[in-house]
A and B are shown apart, each in its own frame.
Chain A
């Protein structure tokens, strides 16, 4: 129980996000209307994804310095979990875009960034799939993971400078700060971010345990 307190926090916060997110008062905004509630679900998905992908890269670096295969398991599972959140972020974002911008997908810098992230990690999985030997796969995948992550961060940093965007927080569009006037949303948004990130870490820890057991059984047979 002492070790699992954060899982309880994750459960309570996500439950709170779902209940409060749908029931609490939100500011009436033109165009957005009630879809503003998606803020509690869409934005934390990307926060969780970036957190978990950072865990993945961190363990890739650790693998290169220590050559411990467990770091590789963490790195690959974290990439998987990160992609799960990325997919959820794309789906929630797409639905939101349909109701506010009128299309499922628009040509936009933030959306391109999301698409590139998905492509990079899909390539990472294909790279992993095409090498059989365990240590070699771990080493090469780690190198690609670090290389790609740095390029991704650079991309996400320079991209908004290259063109304007419809997405909040870019090119003169109001970001979350506009809603700061209304602290009703903060009360839900911050727990939502913490809750979803913790939930992501929880999913990741289960995946790692599952993978380690699978490896143990495989080595025993």
Chain B
């Protein structure tokens, strides 16, 4: 039952996104232009720590912009209609799934453009890609939940940032550590950190699943 709902809601998200492509185009262009601005100010970055930090900061801001609209742009009428049809769990899970897809596309594009302009210094690409994928999932579940919270307030874009930054820190620190390992090309994968990353993703999704039902109805 819930699976069915998630499937339909996910399809709905994709369809809506395809219908007004300018939003998707906007967020993709945001990444490209941010990277280009960094390129003009930094030229090439050889220092791994700086490369890594700048990459994640660009991705962080792009993700916030990309996910922020997931609840904020929904009209009240459409939300009401949705809530009479589907269970809150299905709504939040489908949004998380859709945003994971969006952020995965976004982060891969970011990586491509970033390594083209700023320089590619990654030595262990598989690990970096895994980190990127897990990071996109974590970002998407956390930001979807925060955007649901922020959409209930009056100044939601400012709140989106200030509410999400502090609670994103654990995720971001693990991601930065793992991607730094990938850049340095360490012989052994840090399974401990990978495990923590998966654990964090699991916690965030569980919390969203449990708490969203208190948010959705006014």
Chain A interface residues toward B at CB < 8 A: 64, 112, 116, 119-120, 122-123, 126-127, 130-131, 136, 139-140, 142-144, 146-148, 150-152, 154-155, 158-159, 161-162
Contacts and interface: CB of A to CB of B under 8 A. Distances in A.
Contact of A161 (B152, B165, B192, B218): B192
B184 to A, nearest CB: 16
26 contacts: A112-B169, A119-B166, A120-B166, A123-B163, A123-B166, A126-B159, A126-B162, A127-B149, A127-B153, A131-B154, A136-B218, A139-B214, A143-B149, A146-B207, A147-B145, A147-B167, A147-B207, A148-B166, A148-B167, A151-B167, A151-B203, A158-B174, A159-B170, A159-B173, A161-B196, A162-B177
Nearest to B204: A151
Interface of B is mostly: helix
Contact of A158 (B149, B153, B196, B214): B196
Which 4 pairs, one residue from A and one from B, show the smallest C-beta to C-beta distance? A119-B166, A155-B170, A151-B167, A130-B153
A157 to B, nearest CB: 9
Contacts of A155: 169-170
A158 B145 CA distance: 22
B173 A127 contact: no
B200 interface: yes
A147 B174 CA distance: 19
B170 A154 contact: yes
Interface of B: 145, 149, 152-155, 159, 162-163, 165-167, 169-170, 173-174, 177, 192-193, 196, 200, 203-204, 207, 211, 214-215, 218
B214 A130 contact: no
Nearest to A113: B169
Nearest to A158: B196
Nearest to A121: B166
